[in-house]
Amino acid sequence: MKKHINIPIFVPHLGCPNDCSFCNQKKITGVGTTVTASDVENIVKSHLATINTDSSEIEIGFFGGSFTGIEANQQEELLGAAYKFLEKGKIGGIRLSTRPDYIDETILKRLKKFGVTTIELGVQSMEDSVLKKNMRGHTAKDTILASQLIKSYNIGLGHQLMLGLPGDTKETAIKTAKKSIELKPDCARIYPTLVIRDTMLARWYESGSYLPLTLKDAVNQCKEILKLLRQADVNVIRMGLLSSDNINPDADVLAGPYHPSFGELVESEIVYDALCEQIEKTDEKIIEISVNPRFVSTLVGCKKENIKRLKETFNLCDIKIVQDESVKLGNWRVKCI
């Protein structure tokens, strides 16, 4: 399989008039000035110079702001610069992120003209009470209408979901995931809420009126939502923010369940649950698990936490890990000794 690579173009806060509770756009985008067609061309060329194009599926992604909210002529300027690489076969697609209330027929015709292949909507929640509390400025109905319109233009649909927002609960987060699934997105990102400095959420946290999710709770919530999305064949392409998103965890994150390998923690928890189901069916005290070498860290867990828990839970004497290239990545074989 070819490796999927995004070439990110970060646009500033120009396209969004809202100041959502959790958002400090200058921190998220890493920029405070406008982006030009020349910038796009230079960024893409510098990335392409380091990528093995024969073994990679490459997309240009406009992220950071609400792309379809910026001036139409600026949209066309940036998209035009990206489209040149698409026409030449240097990339396979163009994706962008925007707000659900910044999608209409005129916008979609423009995006289609310039070869946009995927639009990711900042859904965050499908509960209007949560959206209102966090000053999102749009409703769940806006997400429904935008999603349906995007699908009607045969453009790929992505949903970005957040966990642990003020007013949100595990139950409402799961409802959001189920309502998202009904709209048939092609892909999704799941982000646990982090308290970024210089935001309204930071002020709420400092006053004691907001308590972020613990890392354990964020992992468990994300696990349940990930399983729902996968059952519906929605491709989950990201879980948690990375330092490469221009977030400095030490300088920018005041509180919240940040972890540099958040996605792997979630995957490890799913593996742990599955191993429990398998091991509880045996009375043997020594277990051998064959696994692909590239999946060992996910299976054993961070600091071998999964192995420790399994031993304690089932009173096992030993768990032997056998690295086997013949085992499909993401699978494993359990043998009782």
Burial degree of 61 (CB within 10 A; 0-12, 13-18, 19+)? buried
Nearest CA among 12, 55, 54 for reference residue 33: 12
Mean pLDDT along residues 31-39? 78
Alpha helices in the chain (DSSP H): 25-29, 37-48, 72-87, 105-113, 128-133, 140-152, 170-182, 200-207, 215-231, 262-279, 296-300, 305-314
The answer, yes or no, to whether residue 195 has pLDDT greater than 80, is: yes
pLDDT tens figures, 103-155:
999 999 999 999 999 999 999 999 999 999 999 999 999 999 999 999 999 99
The answer, yes or no, to whether residue 202 has pLDDT greater than 80, is: yes
When pLDDT is cut at 50, 70 and 90, the band that residue 29 belongs to is very low
Distance CA(17)–CA(96), nearest Å, equals: 18
Please indicate, yes or no, whether residues 244 and 291 belong to a single structural domain of this protein: no
Please indicate, yes or no, whether residues 7 and 139 belong to a single structural domain of this protein: yes
Distance CA(116)–CA(101), nearest Å, equals: 18
CATH of the domain at 322: 3.40.1260.20
N residues, the chain: 337
Q: Count Cβ atoms below 10 Å from residue 17 Cβ, excluding itself.
A: 10
Taking the alpha carbons of 40, 43, 45, 50 in that order, is the dihedral positive or negative?
negative
Determine the structural domain holding residue 315 and report its residue range: 267-336
Distance CA(257)–CA(32), nearest Å, equals: 26
Please indicate, yes or no, whether residues 214 and 314 belong to a single structural domain of this protein: no
Please indicate, yes or no, whether residues 161 and 280 belong to a single structural domain of this protein: no
Number of domain units in the chain: 2
* Residue matched to tokens 């696990």: 223
CATH of the domain at 9: 3.20.20.70
Tell which of 258, 288, 312 closes a domain: 258
- pLDDT for the residue numbered 30: 47
Please indicate, yes or no, whether residues 171 and 308 belong to a single structural domain of this protein: no
Please indicate, yes or no, whether residues 239 and 275 belong to a single structural domain of this protein: no
Residue type, 139: T
Please indicate, yes or no, whether residues 70 and 170 belong to a single structural domain of this protein: yes
Report the share of the chain in percent with pLDDT over 90.
83
Please indicate, yes or no, whether residues 11 and 137 belong to a single structural domain of this protein: yes
pLDDT tens figures, 247-300:
788 889 999 999 999 999 999 999 999 999 999 988 889 999 999 999 999 999
Please indicate, yes or no, whether residues 156 and 296 belong to a single structural domain of this protein: no
Least confident of 33-47, 52-66, 133-147, 185-199: 52-66
When pLDDT is cut at 50, 70 and 90, the band that residue 26 belongs to is low
Would you give the DSSP letter of residue 90?
S
- pLDDT for the residue numbered 238: 95
Please indicate, yes or no, whether residues 47 and 194 belong to a single structural domain of this protein: yes
Tell which of 258, 283, 317 closes a domain: 258
The answer, yes or no, to whether residue 28 has pLDDT greater than 60, is: no
Please indicate, yes or no, whether residues 156 and 94 belong to a single structural domain of this protein: yes
Q: How far is CA 143 from CA 140, 160, 317, in A?
A: 5, 11, 52
- pLDDT for the residue numbered 13: 62
Please indicate, yes or no, whether residues 10 and 92 belong to a single structural domain of this protein: yes
Tell which of 258, 292, 319 closes a domain: 258
Summary mean pLDDT of the chain: 93
Q: Count Cβ atoms below 10 Å from residue 66 Cβ, excluding itself.
A: 22
